[in-house]
Copies of this chain bind each other. A is one copy, B any other.
Amino acid sequence: MSRTFEPDLESYRRAAVIGGGVIGVSWAGLFLARGIDVVINDPRPDIEDLVRAGLAEITPALAALGLPTENLTAGLTFEADLATAVADVDIVQENGPERLELKRRIWETVEAAAPAHALLATSTSSIPATAIAEAMRAPERLIVGHPFNPPHLVPLVEIVPGARTAPATVEQATAFYTALGKKPQVLRKEVPGFVANRLQAALFRECVHLVAEGVVTERQLDDVMTSSIGMRWAVAGPFRTFHLGGGPDGLPHFIDHLGRAMETGLWPLLGNPTFDDATVALLTEQAREAFGDASVEQLAAERDRAQIALMRALGETPDTERARA
């Protein structure tokens, strides 16, 4: 492949979304709002109802992001046969169950049936492209495009090439997700959990420890986060934050002083909790106290409204990006 990939959606007319769960619906909504026709492939008999209901649910968020949502489903179709579904598409985004054998079977079928120019991406959060592509004749075509849930809202897409993924595929994926309004990051190594989920795991381990030790409640810990580090990290990542915490000499000065104090004084003390019965019972009880009787759906809608307000304030919604361009 010698063509270069421009960050526009001109050549993306039609997408196959494999798996119509929460992630698939969210990708489908974003693709449709961006003018890309979508064919959903999913074996469930009630898939059409599920996807249409899911799209109706996220439409207000798409609109609030400044995306066009009129006749959103005009370009939506369903095709239960996988080879037929991908036969005439420009991008395949696969969101099947996280089972290696199943993904291998899916991708064997896809690569045989999809057009040669199509971008082939899996949303997997836990299975490396290298492992899935072992069953493929053209492993250079497969790439991980792992969104942070939900993809229509959160900008990050982790692009994780496998050992045999072609550089051109990396370039193609980066251009596509950028044109879609996302913020892709290309990882330089395939590591379990990629980056964002490892960071979440590292932080959550200490959260569970502090609650299990009775230092704070879940509600307090959440409030600590939103009223300090969380609002910091929304505008400046941890390295920038500590660069600014190092005085005029920045990060090197931070490391020499506070960083070394952290290494010797805090890292060895961080907790190693387990989800044993007592911990799970405590976390469950405190979740009930913190989140009460409100439905998860209702709380999620509130969270997403706040999220969109934040993104608008920071100029990170698709409409403000277009306005700046």
Which residues of A are at the interface with B, using a C-beta cutoff of 8 A?
A: 126, 148-149, 154-156, 158, 183, 185, 187-189, 191-193, 195-207, 210-211, 213-216, 218-240, 242-252, 255, 259-263, 265-267, 269-270, 272, 274-275, 280, 283-284, 286-287, 290-291, 295-297, 299-300, 303, 306-307, 309-314, 316
Known: A191-B215, A231-B154, A232-B307. A252 touches B196 (CB 8 A): no
Q: Which residue of B lies closest to A183 (CB)?
A: B227
Known: A238-B222, A239-B222, A250-B287. A229 touches B244 (CB 8 A): no
A222-B238, A244-B296, A259-B275 given; 11 more Cβ-contact pairs under 8 Å: A188-B214, A199-B229, A221-B238, A225-B237, A226-B233, A229-B233, A231-B234, A231-B311, A235-B303, A251-B291, A267-B272
CA–CA, A154 to B224, complex, Å? 11
A sample of 28 cross-chain residue pairs with beta-carbon separation below 8 angstroms, ordered by A number, consists of A156-B228, A187-B216, A188-B215, A189-B214, A193-B265, A195-B210, A195-B216, A196-B229, A199-B203, A202-B203, A218-B239, A223-B237, A225-B233, A227-B316, A229-B233, A230-B233, A231-B310, A231-B316, A235-B303, A240-B290, A243-B287, A243-B290, A244-B300, A250-B291, A252-B287, A310-B310, A310-B313, A312-B313
Is B192's CB under 8 angstroms from A266's CB? yes
Is B156's CB under 8 angstroms from A224's CB? yes
Secondary structure of the A side of the interface? helix
Partner of A265, one of B192, B235, B243, B269: B192
Is A255's CB under 8 angstroms from B280's CB? yes
Partner of A201, one of B193, B252, B262: B262
A229 proximity list for chain B (CB < 8 A): 148, 196, 199-200, 233
Is B238's CB under 8 angstroms from A154's CB? no
CA–CA, A211 to B251, complex, Å? 14
Q: How far is the CB of A77 from chain B (nearest CB, A)?
A: 27
Q: Which residue of B lies closest to A215 (CB)?
A: B189
Q: Which residue of B lies closest to A266 (CB)?
A: B201
Is B155's CB under 8 angstroms from A227's CB? yes
A232 proximity list for chain B (CB < 8 A): 148, 154, 230, 307
A263 proximity list for chain B (CB < 8 A): 274-275
CA–CA, A307 to B275, complex, Å? 35
A283 proximity list for chain B (CB < 8 A): 239, 251-252, 255
Known: A148-B229, A240-B299. A265 touches B154 (CB 8 A): no
A206 proximity list for chain B (CB < 8 A): 198-199, 201-202
Partner of A224, one of B195, B220, B244, B270: B195
